[in-house]
Amino acid sequence: MATLQGKAALITGAASGIGAATARALARDGAAVLLTDIDDARGEALAAELRGGGARALYLHQDVTEEARWTEVVAAAEKEFGRLDILVSNAGIGIIVPLEEMPLAEWRKQMAINVDGVFLSVKHCAPALRRAGGGSMVLISSVAGLRGSAGLGGYSASKGAVRLLAKSAALEFAAARIRVNSVHPGIIATPIWDKLPANALSGRNAPIDPKDMAAGVPLGYPAAPEEVAEGIAWLASDASRYVTGSELVIDGGMTAGRAGSL
Ligand code: NAD
């Protein structure tokens, strides 16, 4: 049953992986969707696919780190759909470099996309969600935002910031009936892994295969992006209306503890 009928959603990083699966899930559930990304070919193709399936879908180029573009994108959502009810702040990158070797420019690039981009999304979408009478913001963090990880220290720091930004925004916006939650995926089979350079986690100079990374996951496999998108769709919908300032961990048991150990 459609649970997002009459609602409009903005999804960043929507051209690929978890963002693309989320766009499909929200459109399936009846939402009008504005997709943004820097990968215009894949973003346009997905919007066309969704329109072909009968959804209201639009793609716009957006680098989430550029503040002026945020004003234009939110205005476009309200012009096209008449309202904005849902933000899925998903655009993000992962840089695997040990802390001692991390160039400051790489640290800043990752922080700019993963933290500044999410902050700007919250700042600029909040007024539109207020105008709609409330809504839901879903900020995509990671299991790396719940605990540290050797080799991914910068990424963990950025995703930990997203987690507490979500809780702070939940408190600031509760009176406006805007809910804000963070999602913490574990190992998800998306192209993000293909973009990672030499494997500083294992010492092997080879691309990372999410299947190898999932070897220690209790459920035993890397999730498909659709398995994360279903959780995001639930948080976006009124079915989760009493959930705010919360964390939805979708990790196959990865952070539950150590198997066979106290
Ligand atoms: P992905 O690489 O498949 O998709 C990320 C999208 O973000 C791409 O389409 C990319 O073009 C876009 N993007 C990158 N920089 C951007 C920018 N400056 N402005 C706008 N868009 C930009 O990756 P994914 O795995 O689907 O990741 C989505 C989110 O989920 C990220 O925030 C990531 O950190 C998080 N996450 C992923 C995993 C995983 O295992 N894949 C696990 C935990 C969290």
**What ipTM score was computed for the predicted complex, to two decimals?**
0.99
pLDDT at residue 201, as a whole number: 56
Cα angle vertex 248, ends 197, 137, to 5°?
A: 90
Q: How far is CA 60 from CA 25, 45, 89, 118, 142, in A?
A: 19, 12, 15, 17, 25
Atom of ligand 1 nearest to the CA of 155: 34
Helix axes 67-81, 117-131, angle to 10 degrees: 30
Cα angle vertex 229, ends 112, 23, to 5°?
A: 75
Give nearest CA residue, ligand 1 atom 6.
13
pLDDT at residue 2, as a whole number: 61
pLDDT at residue 200, as a whole number: 52
pLDDT tens over the chain, length 262 residues: 569 999 999 999 999 999 999 999 999 999 999 999 999 999 999 999 999 999 999 999 999 999 999 999 999 999 999 999 999 999 999 998 889 999 999 999 999 999 999 999 999 999 999 999 999 999 999 999 999 988 899 999 999 999 999 999 999 999 999 999 999 999 999 988 877 754 455 555 566 778 777 888 999 999 999 999 999 999 999 999 999 999 999 999 999 998 777 7
| 248 contact partners, CB below 8 Å, separation of at least 6 | 181, 182, 183, 184, 231, 235
pLDDT at residue 198, as a whole number: 46
Atom of ligand 1 nearest to the CA of 140: 32
pLDDT at residue 205, as a whole number: 56
Residue with the two structure tokens 């766009």: 23
Give the sheet arrangement for strand 135-140, strand by strand. 57-61, 32-37, 8-12, 86-89, 135-140, 178-185, 247-250
pLDDT at residue 243, as a whole number: 98
Ligand 1 neighbours, Cβ below 6 Å, are 12-13, 15-19, 37-39, 62-65, 90-94, 113, 140, 142, 185, 187-188, 190-192, 225
Residue 155: active-site member: yes
